[in-house]
Amino acid sequence: MLRAVRSRTRVLAAAVACAALSAGAALTAPTVATAAPNVTISCSASGRTHFTPGVQLWPRQQHVSYQGRDGRCNDNTDIGISSACITADFDGVTLGCLSGGGTGSGTGTIEWTTVDGYRLRSTFNLTIDKTVLNDANVTG
């Protein structure tokens, strides 16, 4: 009986550790947005990622949602962007603690704030090219 409890505890601990590692799987790297050819605005990005039904030991299809926080931007244009906030939703992402990450697609929104306080909005399609541990390559 004691061995069964220890075994379950180890499996639960492994699942919790894996879920914690996966919690930052999407969009934790700085975001670079291109406003026009040869015009670059770079912004830092951070936020929370939520997995439904939740990352578990075995691979399962997940809906992944990301809610970003305002991040400062380096605006190399005359647009006057001071900060940006990104949100995204992905479907069909197969994730599991034992199998690693998968690919998926979705949509996103960037809400830009100008130095004058105006808010602008961009929407886009996203693709998760691959995931490894808590790092994801996202294009769109």
The tens digit of pLDDT for each residue in 37-60 reads: 565 888 888 999 899 999 888 888
Q: Residue 58: beta bridge partners?
A: none
25 pLDDT above the threshold of 90: no
Distance from C-alpha of 95 to C-alpha of 56, rounded to nearest angstrom: 8
| Residues sharing a CB contact under 8 Å with residue 76, sequence separation 6 or more, in sequence order | 39, 40, 41, 42
DSSP state of 61: E
Distance between terminal CA atoms of the chain? 52
- 87 membership: H or E segment, kind and range: strand 81-95
Tell me the whole-structure pTM to 2 decimals.
0.64
Residue of 58, 61, 59 lying closest to 105 (CA atoms): 61
Residue type, 65: S
Higher-scoring residue by pLDDT: 88, 137: 88
Give me the residue label for tokens 């929407």: 123
84 pLDDT above the threshold of 50: yes
∠ CA 51-56-60, rounded to 5°: 70
* Residue 111 confidence (pLDDT): 95
Confidence of residue 137 (pLDDT cuts 50, 70, 90): low
| Residues sharing a CB contact under 8 Å with residue 48, sequence separation 6 or more, in sequence order | 66, 67
Average of per-residue pLDDT across 25-42: 54
* Residue 135 confidence (pLDDT): 54
Cβ atoms of residues 46 and 69 within 8 Å: yes
67 pLDDT above the threshold of 90: yes
* Residue 105 confidence (pLDDT): 86
Average of per-residue pLDDT across 29-34: 45
17 pLDDT above the threshold of 50: no
